[in-house]
Structures are given as C-alpha cells and as structure tokens.
Structure 1
Amino acid sequence: SLCITRDRNKCILCGDCVRMCWEVQNVGAIDFAYRGSKMSISTIFAQPIAESDCIGCGQCSAVCPTGAIVVKSDRDRVWRELNDQNSKVIAQIAPAVRVAVNREFGLAEKENAMGRIVAALRRMGFDSIFDTSTGADLTVLEEAAELEKRLDQGENLPLFTSCCPAWINYCEKNYPELLSHISTCRSPMQMFGSVIKEQFKTSGKKIVHVAVMPCTAKKFEAARDEFKIDGVPMVDYVITTQELIRMIKEAGIVFGDLEPEAVDMPFGSMTGAGVIFGVTGGVTEAVIRRIAMDKTPGTLSSIAFSGVRGMDGIKEATVPYGNGERELKIAIVSGLKNADDLLQRITAGKHYDFVEVMACPGGCISGAGQPFTTLKGKENRGKGLYSADKLCSVKRSEENSLMMSLYKGLLKGRIHELLHVDYQGRKVEEK
C-alpha cells in the first residue's frame, strides 16, 4: 500500500484495527483469519492490502498500540531531494498540521505553530514554503460556483465535497452510481499542486513538490493518474505530520526556540475560510460564506452557529440562499460509517443540497498522519483552527486578492484543466 505498512511480528491480535475498519469506517478490509496459534489479522484471502477494499484512511494505524500497522514513510526520499543541488524543493503545509505539532515538542497543543513549522522547513533546506489554505481558497471559489450552477439547473444534487481522497476511494468502490454527484473540484492539495508546478515550470532546476498533510490517503491521491501530466505528478511526495516531526528531530532543530516566520511569495495570501478546512464542517462553512448574499460580520457569526461546527459525526443545517426565497439543506459527516448511514437516507429519498464528507472522525485534525491524542485533544485542535480563523483579517475566499491575480494570469483559459478532475471517467475506464 502507498499509505500504510504492516509488521505482522508486532501484532498482538488486540483487534483494535479490525473494530476501527468495520465499526467506525465501515470498510471491512481486514479481519481475523484462522484460529488458535495460527490466528492473524488479514485481508480476504490474504491479498495485498493495496488490492483489498482498503481506502487508505489509515485509521487502523492510528489505533494500533504496538506499531504493527504504521504510516508508510517517505522521509528518506525527501531528505535525498533536499540534499540534491539540482532540485528546487517546494513545500505546502495543510491547515490541520499547524495545531498538531506543538504537543510533540512540549508546547501548548492548540497554539498555532505555522510560523515555527515554516522556520523549521527553511532550516531543513526547503527552497519555497506555502500554505495549503491558499489552495483551499481556490477550492471554495470553484466548489461554490459548481454548487450554484447545480442549484440553478436542479441536476446531480446533492453535491458531495471532493476534498477527502479516502472518501473518493470509498465512493468509487461502494457507490459508483454517486460519482456524478461528487464535485469535480480537485482537493486543495492538488489544486495548489497544479498551480505550483505551473508557476515554477521554467525553473532551471528539477521542481520537487512536497505536501505536508495530516492524512495517509493523500499519499495515494498524489499517485493517481488523474493528477499527473505526461507521467509527472503535481505532488511528488506527501509526508504526514508524524513524518514532519521526525524530520525536525532528525535535523536536530530545537522547535521551541524557533522564531516564527512567514510563508513565501507569490502565494503568501490566504483567508480564514481556507484555514478552517482542517476541521469537520469547515469546508461547508467556507462555502456558505462565499454564497451568502449578506457579507456583514454578523452573518459570519450566524453561519458559525447554524449547526456546521462541532465534533458530532452527523450534523444537519439549513441556511438561506439567494435573496432568502430558498433554503439550502446541508449535511456534514465525518467517519465513513456515518457517511454510509447518511447515504442510506439519501438513497431512501431524503433530500440535501450539499453534503460534506470527511473520512476521519472529526475531519483532518484527526487524520491518521497526525500524532496520537485524546478526543479532548482533537477538540482543542479544532478550536485552534477557529482561533487562527479569527486572527485572519480576511475571512472570505473571494476577498483574497491573490485569487483574482491567479484567475487573470496563470489560470486564464485553463481553469478546468488545472483545478478540476473527472472521477466518473476514471471509473468507466477501469470497467
């Protein structure tokens, strides 16, 4: 598997991974096999995990107490690129990473560590460092436009979000008939990856793009053929938050002593809407901010209290749309068992206009690539992202001046090529 690796010798047959896979994620890729002294945890017919029903969420590794299942590491390959004088190594950092690093270095968990992460990456040798929140702003604009178009046409509703690669994988394997309902927008990582590769394509050095993510499934997403041009991926390597922490320690950097630094230009502008992508309900809130007619500060508060926030596995909200003559019915789910329950309701006839799905319970802050923490710790991570949103002077993606510069420049005439993807086409080809 591109996402996880197993060491059977460390397995104590506790069954935590099996329960997670079956009861929380509803995937059922692994189970107990054989009996007595021959008992083991295995896929069906002991097939390779990459060929099983596994969707790469990595939650099995997150609950494994012995390290029998761990995130597959790309650290060594990234170190080699950093030591290659012919490579220009560029990093993007996902929103959820900034609230999960501090605890590992003895600092306050929910404090925003973005500035120190940037400083650490510079000392490790990265040439340019950007914030994936900028890519999230692009996603908000494209997804909001797609939602409005579908609402006007009354077709392919509800619109499902497409940010989570594990959810996409789950839908492809279990609900292929719903692929036309999934947004054609690429994830923020892939949108930003396309922009970064396009921006630096004239560099005299080999461009190596590294994404720092809370998610194991992003490793699989980066390797998908849809996100390659002439066989070259838009994101060359994905390292998780855990891998980043180990690299900082390997470099001998004293994280707590670092002075915070800003990300680089020309992509140094982002909004609070992009930052909150890392917590369940964040994508929905960002999209509502975009399509809301009333842009006053009071509207931001009303959106926050509309039911989109909180760690509940299934949330529902109703918000006004347009001039108030219509209401949007919205559902937000995290954890694939909850997603499956919601899909059963939808197939039974319940109507929603917009559905946000995150495979990991609680959203990206609970990704399998994040350091272990308790439920309270995950809640604190979410609060940390909302605090970062409050400190952003610009709250709405459409107010990010960089977005207009991109649309008038680098993206002009190439929006669909660089920012969208057709998962339906991929499924047809496989058949």
Structure 2
Amino acid sequence: MYEQNTQSNYDDIFKRLVKAAYNGDVEQEINKIHQEGNETADKYALYASGGGDPNQVVFKVKDCAGDCVQKTGEDCEASCLFNAVVRDMEGNVVIKHNNCSGCGKCVEVCKNYSLVDKKEFVPIIKLLKDRKQPVFAIVAPAFIGQYAPEITPGKLRAAFKRLGFYGMVEVALFADILTLKEALEFDRLVTKEDHFMLTSMCCPIWFSMVKRVYKDLVPHISPSVSPMVACGRGIKFLHPGAKVVFVGPCIAKKAEAKEEDIKDAVDAVLTFKEVDQIFGVVGIDPAKMSEDPSEHSSTAGRIYARTGGVSKAISDTLNRLWPERKIKIRAIQADGPKDCKEVLKEALEGKIDANFLEGMGCPGGCVGGPRSVADVETGTKRVNEYGSEAESLTPVDNEHVMDLLKHLGIADIHEFLDSEKAAMFIRDFM
C-alpha cells in the first residue's frame, strides 16, 4: 500500500494525524498506521508528527537505487548545494548530516520520496487547543496570492484564529523594520565607490552559501537577522510567554529556525502547502471567513517576496533618508542557486560593479519556493499589486513602524546601530 504513490501517502498520513490531534487521539492514529502499513509508513508517521532528531529537517525514509534519475533527469545528489547527499556502493542515498544545511533542495527533486522534510504542526495543536498561552502565526510576505484570489489578508487572519491561533502577523511589517536597519548599515559600511555589502536577511540558502563556501565574503555581510527572526523576537518581547509559528514557502526556513544563535525566535515552521492541507482537514474555508483586517506594512516590506524586492526596498529607503547621498545603491540580484554561485564567485574575484548584493535561492524569490501553492508568475503579480496598495512606500513614512519601534525600545532609527538597544535585530557573523 505505502510503496506506491508515497508522496501522497506522506501527505495523507500528515492530514490523518492533524485530524486526530484536533480530536485528541493522535497516538491511537499512529498505532493504526503502524498496524496497516509497513516500515515506510511508520517513518512517515514519525516525521509527519514532528518526530525524529530535533535538530534535523531532512530525513531518509527508504533506500533508493537512483532509478528516479533515469526517469526524470533530476538527481538529489546533484541538487545538493553542500555535498551532503552521496550514494553508497549500492547506489543508495546517504545524507551526511554534518554537511546538510536543511535547505530541502534534495527533497524538492526526490520523485521516489525517499527523502522527506519534517512536518512541525502536530505538536503545536495541543497548544492551540489548550489556549493556556498565546500562539501567533507569522506569515511570510509571499503569502499574498497563495490561495484563492478572494482570500484577503483579513480573511486569512480569521482562518488562523479559527485554527486556534491568537493572531496572525505579517512578517512584512518586520521586513519594514529591517529595511531601515539595512539602509543604515549600507550608509555605515559603503563609504567608497569600491565598497560593497551583502544582504543577509531573507534567504537562508544564500546565507548558507556565503557561510559555508564563500567564507571570505563574510565580512561584507550586513549584521542583521532575517525578518522571520525579527518578527518572532518582536512578538515574544511584546507578549512574554507567547509561541510563534512561521508560515512560508520553503523548507529552508525550518532549518534556519533551529540555528543555535537564533532558535529563540520561532517555535515551529509551516509551509503554505501544509497550511492548505490543514485548512482542508479541519473544514475551514478562508474565503468564507469574515474580515479581520490589520495590515500595516509599507510597500517596501511587502515586495521582499520577489527577486529584486529587497534591493528596491532598501534603495528607496536610503534615498528617502539621504536624498543627497552621493553613493547610491547599485544592486545586483542573484536569482536561483546557479545565479547565486556565479554572483558570489565574481564578488570574490572583484569582478562586480554592484555595491549591494541580493541573493534568492529560489528562482523568482520566495514566491518561487518549493512549498508555494501559487505559481511564480501569479505570486509575483499579486505581491506587486499588494505592494502598490500600501499606504506608504517606505518604512520612514509608516507611522505603524515607528510606533512599533518605540514599543520595542528603539526611540530613534539611528539606534539600530546600537548593539544593545537593537540586539534583537542583530546577528554576528564573524
């Protein structure tokens, strides 16, 4: 039963466990799966329920002789950016976890579904049902347009609350905050025409490439956390004891959330596809929910979801802060893994003219993430439309951002360069 169409069975097992967890009988359902399946089904149940090594994201479920390469032309070993996937003498996949960044590229191309990424929602359900502490859903800027066109941010927020979440916060609001910080960092770091800066914020694949392969570029990375981490820390600062669940388009964020120096920020990560499955299992149709509006982000934060969005956001903000600044942002965007490698290699060799380097591990940016629901074109179009609907172009003119900063202990934007006052937004890469 479970040797055929194994991906749908992994998803089916996840949905069965979600339903069982809301009904309070998840252990009984796991036992039932064990009785009707085999070793593969047991492993699916383990990882679909959030089990396995707590520090790992990607797991091997069964042996694979590599026949998928002949059928599809896609190879998990070749897809790995960090040489973490190899094959033994019999051709079976072996994951070298010391090399694995958790980016999930191998899972994305594995058509035999011998490799899976852990699903983290089932353990959260108990917290949602108990309602003893607030649990927030924080949604990546790419969320807009992922589901039906009539599902507004307000309706999606209401749907998350129906699941048991205390509230839904757009990470774009904290992307606004980090846009201010990055503009200040650029002003501090790029003072000559030959200086350049790498943004560290959004994409964990881009950051992992620099940290693991192109280490000589680390001094050029801006010392900022990602918007996901900033949002998680901000919520926990304002709501002590709260739990935070990030919702986004990629597997790599599951790995980022487990990194030692930032694992305080986010307690679980869900993908857009997983959320779509969850709504279906529990019978929630976001399109039929009442509006629960609370959208305060600017254009800058909203367009982070697509390639070039970060560069434009920070450039617009820099120009708003210092319109007479002589050295403007000259940005280059790396779009996809191959492009990221080429841009970083050229930066090492001193062959780029740009002074601001933005990298996206997925073609199109976050809207092209492997666990998106909408296609890249639809996602990009909707992100741009949503950006144009914002009341302010940059966070400089966004009164909600300025008010939020005061509540977070930052009275003036220049305090972003104060390592003590802005500690929750700073990451040391050296």
Query: TM-score interval w.r.t. the shorter chain?
Result: 0.7 to 0.9
250 and 123 in structure 1: CA distance in 2 versus 1, 3 angstrom threshold? same
Equivalent pair of 1:279/1:385 in contact (CA under 8 Å):
yes
Q: Deviations over 1:331-383 (max 9, x none)?
A: 10122221111122122222321000111222111223324x6xxx2122111
Q: Is 2:122 aligned against 1:116? A: no
Partner Cα distance (1:90, 1:96) in 2 = 18
Q: Deviations over 1:153-187 (max 9, x none)?
A: 77962333332122222222112221111111111
In the alignment, which residue of structure 1 is the partner of 2:131? 85
Q: Is 2:121 aligned against 1:75? A: yes
Q: Is 2:399 aligned against 1:401? A: yes
139 and 163 in structure 1: CA distance in 2 versus 1, 3 angstrom threshold? same
2:252 aligned partner, one-letter code: A
- SS at structure 2 position matched to 1:14: helix
1:417 to 423, 426, 430: 423
Partner Cα distance (1:406, 1:392) in 2 = 17
Equivalent pair of 1:32/1:42 in contact (CA under 8 Å):
yes
Count, aligned residues: 365
In the alignment, which residue of structure 1 is the partner of 2:47? none
1:410 aligned partner, one-letter code: L
1:408, CA displacement in angstroms? 3.0
In the alignment, which residue of structure 2 is the partner of 1:216? 251
In the alignment, which residue of structure 1 is the partner of 2:5? none
Q: Is 2:192 aligned against 1:191? A: no
11 and 21 in structure 1: CA distance in 2 versus 1, 3 angstrom threshold? closer
1:292 to 319, 331, 344: 319
Partner Cα distance (1:325, 1:166) in 2 = 32
Q: Which stretch of structure 1 is more off in the superposition, 5-14 or 139-148?
A: 5-14
Equivalent pair of 1:132/1:188 in contact (CA under 8 Å):
yes
Q: Is 2:72 aligned against 1:41? A: no
Equivalent pair of 2:101/2:255 in contact (CA under 8 Å):
no
8 and 249 in structure 1: CA distance in 2 versus 1, 3 angstrom threshold? same
Partner Cα distance (2:258, 2:242) in 1 = 16
1:324, CA displacement in angstroms? 7.1
1:9, CA displacement in angstroms? 5.2
1:73, CA displacement in angstroms? 0.1
Equivalent pair of 1:17/1:60 in contact (CA under 8 Å):
no
Partner Cα distance (1:261, 1:115) in 2 = 4
Partner Cα distance (2:328, 2:429) in 1 = 29
In the alignment, which residue of structure 1 is the partner of 2:31? none
- SS at structure 1 position matched to 2:424: helix
- SS at structure 1 position matched to 2:345: helix
TM-score normalised by structure 1 residue count:
0.77
1:252, CA displacement in angstroms? 1.3
CA root-mean-square deviation: 2.6
In the alignment, which residue of structure 2 is the partner of 1:341? 342
Alignment of 1:175-324 (within 5 A): 175-201=214-240, 206-228=241-263, 233-263=264-294, 268-293=295-320, 322-323=323-324
68 and 126 in structure 1: CA distance in 2 versus 1, 3 angstrom threshold? same
Percent pairwise identity: 26
Equivalent pair of 2:337/2:360 in contact (CA under 8 Å):
yes
In the alignment, which residue of structure 2 is the partner of 1:6? 60
Equivalent pair of 1:18/1:28 in contact (CA under 8 Å):
no
The structure with higher relative contact order (CA 8 Å, sep 6+) is: 1
Q: Deviations over 1:46-74 (max 9, x none)?
A: x3xx322x322223222333433333100
1:331 aligned partner, one-letter code: I
366 and 418 in structure 1: CA distance in 2 versus 1, 3 angstrom threshold? same
1:93 aligned partner, one-letter code: V
- SS at structure 2 position matched to 1:8: coil
Q: Deviations over 1:186-221 (max 9, x none)?
A: 1111111111111012xxxx4211111212121222
Structure 1: segments with no counterpart, 5+ residues: 296-320, 425-431
Structure 2: segments with no counterpart, 5+ residues: 1-54
Equivalent pair of 1:278/1:365 in contact (CA under 8 Å):
yes
Q: Is 2:125 aligned against 1:127? A: no
2:265 aligned partner, one-letter code: M
Equivalent pair of 2:175/2:304 in contact (CA under 8 Å):
yes
Equivalent pair of 1:56/1:220 in contact (CA under 8 Å):
yes
Q: Deviations over 1:275-331 (max 9, x none)?
A: 1111111111111110125x9xxxxxxxxxxxxxxxxxxxxxxxxx85374454321
1:352 to 348, 351, 354: 354
In the alignment, which residue of structure 2 is the partner of 1:27? 82
1:62 to 99, 108, 120: 108
Partner Cα distance (2:157, 2:113) in 1 = 29
Partner Cα distance (1:387, 1:27) in 2 = 36
Equivalent pair of 1:147/1:159 in contact (CA under 8 Å):
no
1:22 aligned partner, one-letter code: A
Equivalent pair of 1:156/1:180 in contact (CA under 8 Å):
no
Partner Cα distance (2:308, 2:177) in 1 = 17
1:95 to 141, 153, 169: 141
2:215 aligned partner, one-letter code: P
Choose between structure 1 and 2: higher strand proportion. Answer: 1
In the alignment, which residue of structure 1 is the partner of 2:17? none
3 and 360 in structure 1: CA distance in 2 versus 1, 3 angstrom threshold? farther
Partner Cα distance (1:360, 1:82) in 2 = 32
Q: Deviations over 1:242-266 (max 9, x none)?
A: 2211221221112332334324xxx
2:331 aligned partner, one-letter code: I
147 and 17 in structure 1: CA distance in 2 versus 1, 3 angstrom threshold? farther
1:26, CA displacement in angstroms? 4.0
- SS at structure 1 position matched to 2:191: helix
Partner Cα distance (1:17, 1:388) in 2 = 37
